[in-house]
Amino acid sequence: MSAKRRQAIFTERCTGHNVAPCCLCGEPIHRHEDRWIVEHKRALALLGPDTNPNCAPAHYKCAEVKTHTQDLPRIRKAKRQQARHEGTKKPARGFQTPAGAVFDWRLRRYVTTV
Ligand SMILES: [Zn+2]
């Protein structure tokens, strides 16, 4: 993201002179004093669009918390769901052969050999 676009997004959200609310905690951000980033309300990895309405300024610290407590776990889950959908992930727990049993093809069931 260009510095110009970053500032433009901040300006779009301004409620006062160089002050805009944090999109996560609601507290004001001062453009030149506070450390802030442009937060994607819906993460890019979750197919959020990279458009200005999906972006808003957030305190650096607020955004770090959101990224690690909400976005990353959801992104990991989305990747697991996609892998399962594509068939590239084995089920975590399949059917386990009972101990000491073998499959009898004629009977079409497991029989114990003991
Ligand atoms: Zn904040």
CA of 95 to the centre of ligand 1 (A): 49
pLDDT score of 91 more than 80 = no
Cα separation, 56 vs 106, whole angstroms: 66
What is the model's pLDDT at position 92?
Answer: 74
Q: How do residues 39-89 score in pLDDT, each as one tens digit?
A: 999 999 999 999 999 999 999 999 999 999 999 999 999 999 999 899 888
What is the model's pLDDT at position 72?
Answer: 95
The predicted model gives 88-113 an average pLDDT of: 84
Cα separation, 62 vs 72, whole angstroms: 14
Q: Which residue has the tokens 């769901």?
A: 81
CA of 47 to the centre of ligand 1 (A): 24
What is the model's pLDDT at position 70?
Answer: 93
CA of 87 to the centre of ligand 1 (A): 40
CA of 42 to the centre of ligand 1 (A): 16
CA of 75 to the centre of ligand 1 (A): 22
Q: What is the pTM of this model?
A: 0.68
CA of 39 to the centre of ligand 1 (A): 11
33: phi then psi, degrees, rounded to nearest 5? -110, -40
